[in-house]
Structure 1
Amino acid sequence: MTTKLSLADLTDLPPDVIGPNYHRSHLTAGILHFGVGNFHRAHQAVYLDDLFNAGIDHDWALVGAGVFEGERAGREKLAGQDFLTTVVEQDDGHMQARVTGAMLDFLEPGDSAAIIRRLADPTIRIVSLTITEGGYFIDPASGKFNPEHPAIVADATDIDRPSTVFGIILAGLKRRREAGTPAFTIMSCDNIPHNGHVTADAIIGLARIADDGLADWVRENVAFPNGMVDRITPATTDRERAILAEKFGVDDAWPVFCEPFRQWVLEDNFPAGRPALEKAGVQFVADVSPFELMKIRILNGGHATIAYPAGLMDIHFVHEAMQEPLVRAFLAKLEREEIIPTVPPVPGVVLEEYFELIERRFSNPKIGDTVRRLCLDGSNRQPKFIIPTIAERLKDGAGIEGLALESALWCRYCFGTTESGAEIAPNDPNWDRLLTASRAARADPAAWLAMEDIYGEVGRSEIFAAAFADALKMLWRDGTRETLGRYLGRTL
């Protein structure tokens, strides 16, 4: 017998499921969030739920929003349970379920007019985003906003009827400017270096095309704090729904399973006000750059390091990849010899201890995070998580053997078959292009590095090109296991 998640049944939750101790009717919205996925509901929404449970800041509840048709299914699931979410934290010795109630509404995805009206509401003082690394219209080679993207050009032409997230936000700001309403703060929660600056470039860059006066107003009145967020949160499948029903007796159409660990480091730049997130464990700092660089290179770069060899070896779960000695040793060697040396000191953090924590988190057998998820969207993730590290190593004249092998493994994965010959289903927005480049690179490795928008100057480096070619040829000649073994100095 399970309890269907709803406001009406909150008082009837099973005894081992923690529910909100506040009344949802006492909450009012202060944050509009784009990108209501698993990470947001396991991260920002949980921090806010902690504050509300402590009786604090009940005027900072969430309203969700989206711009893609694919977000409609998630919205319908949440609407069917009054926008409640069950969050299940688990590792080897811990499993806890809680129901969060921080979200009051989720506006219809794609209903730009309704979202703009809500953005113009003075009660909305923060607009936050988890739209993934690929959602910021960044040119991978330059790392800067691309004002020539067709969707951006279209929004700039008719800013009152936008279709992109940045066009919708800008239209909301335009309404506030016209009404004399103070601007809201825009807070990115995505894994992008200097995510606040990147978001500012996109909003102001779009505004500059559409209306110079509006662009100047945004630049002078809107705050874009940088932040670093962290919590491993895999996609929800029937597996997670079944575990929740069996172990806890809750019927939730879209629960979130995640690790117990969570981290949020923010620059304290919120002129329109903010919730007291420091009381829920958020670390406010003057400069988040050291923290975000550490996380992006060591954790996100580490995910990329284990993803592609594991994918080629037909390994399904991330913790299973960490149980494979070659994959685990590849991660450790590459991190310690090539990645961690590029990370400057971080206040209050010992980098070796941080990496050891990452190893434990990746090894968590309860999360059920998949290798395929880590392999997703390499064309957007590699230029942010791996290629800048290569560029820095080349600039310093340092070795890049392991990083070249990681890049070769990505190329080999994009060939579309595993070592066993199993087909790899498309796993990147640019899959057809990657497939073509990978197949050409089997005979001519330079064909892969010729993707200028991804590799940029790194792809033109003779040193890197030679190391990449050697690694790719070895992968095709000897296979993933033998190639990893040679890199590690082992005889297989």
Structure 2
Amino acid sequence: MLPVSVGRPAYARENLSAGILHFGVGNFHRAHQAEYLDRLFAAGESHDWAIVGAGVFEGERKGKDVLQRQDWLTTLVEQEADRSEARVLGSMIDFIEPADADAIVARMAQPDIRIVSLTITEGGYFLDSSDKFDPSHPAIQADGTNPESPKSVFGMILAGLRARSRAGHPPFTVMSCDNIPHNGTVTKNALVGLAKLSDPDFADWIASNVAFPNGMVDRITPATTDREREILEREFGVEDGWPVFCEGFTQWVLEDNFSLGRPAFEKVGVQFVDDVSPFELMKLRILNGGHATIAYPGGLMGIHYVHEAMEHPLIRAFLRKLEETEIIPMVPPVPETDTNAYFDLIEQRFSNPKIGDTIQRLCLDGSNRQPKFIVPVIRDAIAKGASISGLALESALWCRYCAAIDESGRAIAPNDPNWDTLVRVAQAAKDNPQAWLDQEAVYGAVGSDPRFSAAFAQWLDMLWSRGTVATLEHYLAT
């Protein structure tokens, strides 16, 4: 029995039926899409849209096994500075054996699945250095050569659509819930691009008939560790092998583009718009760019938690100055939104002491995140002749971090799919800063801009010669 202080599904789970198959049943999905559905079900709505989990990697079996022992239930703990609330979500009703392509494709082929959604991280979309679909990627080439035996998520979705077509069922909507610009369009390009390798006619059919809504998603959701499991048991009396801790804030902005209907998400706060781009750009630049801004000085100083970084006066001041002088000016107007007030809220969210979000998580995967969250801002600022000093410092901090030694001389653990390359280039950049900017996959033409490269070289030299604290002090004083 759950303690009375813990919320529970306010609906009969036996009356739910599947409508969504979701790839990537991690913390963010359960704190976001699964939580919206749980609230919708509690309101007596859309009970035929429950979630079936799926995964393409063997490593996802561990999470699947934990959730199966709990009858697919997840404890969600919302934490703010002045409150903590826990409730159990019941919106997932099944989870197909991970990496079992035949079973996953067969489930997608069933007519009750009307949405296939994805949370597969920024690096899961097979993009090249210019953020275009890369058909030469080995995983894509393998699925293009053997479309009946798919291994990638897009290969499985393609096989699922083909199976539905053969059975005479209309296509499901493919909905990305990942934090990438134009996520629906990126997903469409990946799926159509893969299909072209084996069946160009079917690729054209997908482009004309399958819906790919763009969306903006936002909720700070750290990884689950023993810390979270212990807090849940100590403060709420609940044992959960894989609980999710998150902030109270949540946002989801979606284009209303669904081929086979959708849950009534608008009844639980999802904002439907004709064009998600302004909201998406605001979030990617101000929030995700802000995360990058505090990540690398925090990592170099050996700071563990995000809220601790925000308690450091230099890091907090660096964030605010960079946002107000260089990032926010590069954010176009957003309907019914004050971008400065939006940043004030983000500053408050980053400072939440209960979330337990880590600097290490924010530093993760910089080679994929910097080209999406920071480099486009630099590119726009260069084009407009605007200030780039703080952005150059952020890039120099990332480079210094990737040298794999922090300010106290401790080794920095590998934290990027391209870590070995980044370490080698970052160490070379100590004597030749341009070596870092010549990473075309990250910087493109920005790396050769003389104004940016000069500022970057100045900051990197200062970081190595004077350290992070003195460099931040110099930036804030100028």
Q: Same fold (TM over 0.5)?
A: yes
Name the counterpart of 1:93: 82
Name the counterpart of 1:315: 303
1:168 and 2:156 aligned:
yes
The letter for the 1-side match of 2:73 is L
1:339 and 2:321 aligned:
no
Q: How far apart, CA to CA, are the structure 2 residues paired with 1:434 and 1:96?
A: 41
Name the counterpart of 1:102: 91
Q: How far apart, CA to CA, are the structure 1 residues paired with 2:333 and 2:443?
A: 27
Q: How far apart, CA to CA, are the structure 1 residues paired with 2:198 and 2:12?
A: 43
DSSP-derived class of the 1:425 partner:
coil
DSSP-derived class of the 1:18 partner:
coil
DSSP-derived class of the 1:251 partner:
coil
For residue 220 of structure 2, the aligned residue among 228, 232, 246 is 232
DSSP-derived class of the 2:333 partner:
coil
1:126 and 2:118 aligned:
no
Name the counterpart of 2:443: 455
Name the counterpart of 2:68: 79
Q: Deviations over 1:361-416 (max 9, x none)?
A: 00000000000000000000000000011011111111110000000000000010
Moved more, 450-459 or 320-329: 450-459
Q: Deviations over 1:260-292 (max 9, x none)?
A: 000000000012100000001100000000000
Q: Shift in Å at residue 21 of structure 1?
A: 1.6
Q: Deviations over 1:213-232 (max 9, x none)?
A: 11011011100000000000
1:36 and 2:25 aligned:
yes
Q: How far apart, CA to CA, are the structure 2 residues paired with 1:416 and 1:108?
A: 38
Q: Shift in Å at residue 16 of structure 1?
A: 0.1
- TM-score for both structures, normalised by structure 2: 0.99
Q: How far apart, CA to CA, are the structure 2 residues paired with 1:311 and 1:70?
A: 28
The letter for the 1-side match of 2:41 is F
The letter for the 2-side match of 1:82 is D
Q: Shift in Å at residue 202 of structure 1?
A: 0.3
1:195 and 2:201 aligned:
no
Name the counterpart of 1:112: 101
Name the counterpart of 2:45: 56
The letter for the 1-side match of 2:279 is F
Name the counterpart of 2:340: 352
In structure 1, stretches of 5+ residues that fail to align are 1-11
Name the counterpart of 2:192: 204
Name the counterpart of 1:382: 370
DSSP-derived class of the 1:32 partner:
strand
1:298 and 2:283 aligned:
no
Name the counterpart of 1:178: 166
For residue 256 of structure 2, the aligned residue among 260, 264, 268 is 268
Q: Shift in Å at residue 204 of structure 1?
A: 0.5
1:397 and 2:374 aligned:
no
Q: How far apart, CA to CA, are the structure 2 residues paired with 1:277 and 1:54?
A: 11
Q: Shift in Å at residue 346 of structure 1?
A: 0.6
DSSP-derived class of the 2:44 partner:
coil
Q: How far apart, CA to CA, are the structure 2 residues paired with 1:129 and 1:262?
A: 18
Q: How far apart, CA to CA, are the structure 2 residues paired with 1:469 and 1:69?
A: 43
Q: How far apart, CA to CA, are the structure 1 residues paired with 2:164 and 2:51?
A: 19
Q: How far apart, CA to CA, are the structure 1 residues paired with 2:465 and 2:312?
A: 22
Q: How far apart, CA to CA, are the structure 1 residues paired with 2:159 and 2:16?
A: 26
The letter for the 2-side match of 1:29 is A
Q: How far apart, CA to CA, are the structure 2 residues paired with 1:248 and 1:260?
A: 17
Q: Shift in Å at residue 170 of structure 1?
A: 0.5
Question: How do residues 397-416 of structure 1 correspond to structure 2 at under 5 angstroms?
Answer: 397-416=385-404
1:424 and 2:425 aligned:
no
Name the counterpart of 1:7: none
1:327 and 2:319 aligned:
no
Q: How far apart, CA to CA, are the structure 2 residues paired with 1:477 and 1:107?
A: 54
Q: Deviations over 1:158-214 (max 9, x none)?
A: 111010000100010011111221000011111101110000000001111110111
The letter for the 1-side match of 2:32 is H
1:15 and 2:4 aligned:
yes
Q: How far apart, CA to CA, are the structure 1 residues paired with 2:448 and 2:285?
A: 22
For residue 238 of structure 2, the aligned residue among 227, 250, 261 is 250
Q: Shift in Å at residue 71 of structure 1?
A: 1.2
DSSP-derived class of the 1:488 partner:
helix
Name the counterpart of 1:471: 459
The letter for the 2-side match of 1:35 is G
Q: How far apart, CA to CA, are the structure 1 residues paired with 2:467 and 2:211?
A: 50
The letter for the 1-side match of 2:44 is G
The letter for the 2-side match of 1:380 is N
Q: Deviations over 1:416-463 (max 9, x none)?
A: 011001111100111001011101111111111111111111112121
Q: How far apart, CA to CA, are the structure 1 residues paired with 2:53 and 2:447?
A: 40
Q: Shift in Å at residue 308 of structure 1?
A: 0.2
1:446 and 2:446 aligned:
no
Q: Shift in Å at residue 56 of structure 1?
A: 0.8
Q: How far apart, CA to CA, are the structure 1 residues paired with 2:301 and 2:59?
A: 31
DSSP-derived class of the 2:477 partner:
coil
Q: How far apart, CA to CA, are the structure 2 residues paired with 1:454 and 1:230?
A: 24
Q: How far apart, CA to CA, are the structure 2 residues paired with 1:138 and 1:451?
A: 15
In structure 2, stretches of 5+ residues that fail to align are none
DSSP-derived class of the 1:368 partner:
coil
- TM-score for both structures, normalised by structure 1: 0.96
DSSP-derived class of the 1:345 partner:
coil
